[in-house]
Chain A
Amino acid sequence: AQSVSQHNHHVILSEAASLELGCNYSYGGTVNLFWYVQYPGQHLQLLLKYFSGDPLVKGIKGFEAEFIKSKFSFNLRKPSVQWSDTAEYFCAVNAHLGGNKLVFGAGTILRVKS
């Protein structure tokens, strides 16, 4: 079955630490890839997206993600986290063969200690 896997459910970091959240998907063929973020009490919002071209994409608030097609991965990174990055992060995939719908991973809760 088609799926999206996020490696860590909970991550705790101190401010200024580096962040990497793993995401793997099981689709073949053309995919569009997304990271969404949900801050406490807020709605899901787009952090960054990959459609084509440069596999290293930059998003808002200093986040970036790298698409590695051979590994079916789309890991999220940030060199130095801030307390305000405390949120839940969701990786999502739109597999064109799947009918233009997003399939989400289970999410990673990030807590940044000040």
Chain B
Amino acid sequence: EAEVAQSPRYKITEKSQAVAFWCDPISGHATLYWYRQILGQGPELLVQFQDESVVDDSQLPKDRFSAERLKGVDSTLKIQPAELGDSAMYLCASNPGGADGELFFGEGSRLTVL
């Protein structure tokens, strides 16, 4: 069964450092999402790509977060500098591009900022 791949699974960093997460969606999935899940809350959308274009980044803190999907396949989410409040699970999901909204999630990257 095809899966969404994410790395690293766990990342511990000190505040003010840079951190990056990588996601490889299911092959052929045109739409890619990055969600952030803070402990005790549901996932919140950070950014949505359609192929290589950003569709929605309205909730992305652009002063410190950036995301790219240069060739419309895999994607990188970067945080620089990391802050204590960024500690969370970062989830990547993909969708074939249809309008039904069913997402396929990766296992996530858990970030701890000290």
Residues of A within 8 A of B (CB): 4, 6, 9, 32, 34, 36, 42-46, 49, 51, 90, 92, 94, 96, 99-107
Contact = CB atoms under 8 A, between A and B. Distances in A.
A43 B106 contact: yes
Contacts of A9: 40
A39 to B, nearest CB: 12
B114 interface: no
A65 to B, nearest CB: 14
Contact of A104 (B44, B48, B99, B106): B44
A96 B99 contact: yes
Contacts of B107: 42-43
A106 B40 contact: yes
Contacts of B40: 9, 106-107
A51 B100 contact: yes
Given A42-B107, A43-B107, A43-B108, A100 B42 contact: no
5 contacts: A34-B101, A43-B106, A44-B91, A45-B105, A103-B45
Contacts of B56: 99, 101
Contacts of B4: 43
A43 B101 contact: no
B101 A94 contact: yes
A36 B60 CA distance: 23
